[in-house]
Amino acid sequence: MDNEGFISLQAAADADVLIATTAVRYASCYPTVVVGEDTDVLILLLFHAEENSKPLVFQSDKIRKSKVWDIKKTKELLGNEIVYLLPFIHAITGCDTTSRLYGIGKKEGLKRLRENAIFRELASVFLKQDATLDDVIQSGQSALVILYGGETGESLDQLRYRQFNHKVLTNSLSCVHVQSLPPTSEAASQHCKRAYYQIQEWKNDSVHISERY
């Protein structure tokens, strides 16, 4: 490809980060289009894009019903605070490297970001490079309680137990599908650590994080 005049780059770690940051760098000088179908890339373009750049567009690679996102206009529509916290929603609800939460999608997460100030504060912990392990776990579990419709001050295990009892009393089926319940605190702790590490990777701040997590 190099011999034909194409510029090729090889990712040492997360390829999506390289794609997005390269596009943002080129968009500082030239109108730039990124073609793909990976939501990770769209989130990263929104997160890393600069306000004064040339037009930057993300286009899906589907031949039929192709979608196009104008990154600058999308950022303006969402607002800077929401855009800054998008990596949290994407990682905590499930992405290429983290598990999906059963029954909880991006739409629900975005709604919580827009409407719940406490949820935004909890999410912001995951964007801090120097966040402690305890902060990540506690903030992540509290955020999951909100996502699963828990009550103020309720722990994840308490919420899981309450929802289990509710399903037993109201469900006409012979069993309760455990995947429909919130995760246990132990499972959530591991999920939060994976989500935090992935967010730092997206920010290019993952150096030395693995030593603590």
pLDDT for 179: 86
- Conformational region of residue 25, where left means phi above 0, alpha means psi within -120 to 50, and beta covers everything else: alpha
Residue 151 per-residue DSSP state: P
* Domain ranges (residues) in the chain: 2-78, 80-206
Q: What is the model's pTM?
A: 0.88
pLDDT tens per residue, range 188-204: 999 999 999 999 999 98
CA distance 68 to 36: 10
- Residue 81 pLDDT level (bands cut at 50, 70, 90): very high
89: number of Cβ within 10 Å: 26
CA distance 136 to 123: 9
CA distance 24 to 102: 33
CA distance 5 to 102: 46
- Residues 6+ positions from 140 with CB-CB distance below 8 Å: 92, 122, 125, 126, 188, 189, 191, 192, 195, 196
pLDDT tens per residue, range 31-57: 999 998 889 999 999 999 998 999 999
Decide if pLDDT at 3 tops 60: yes
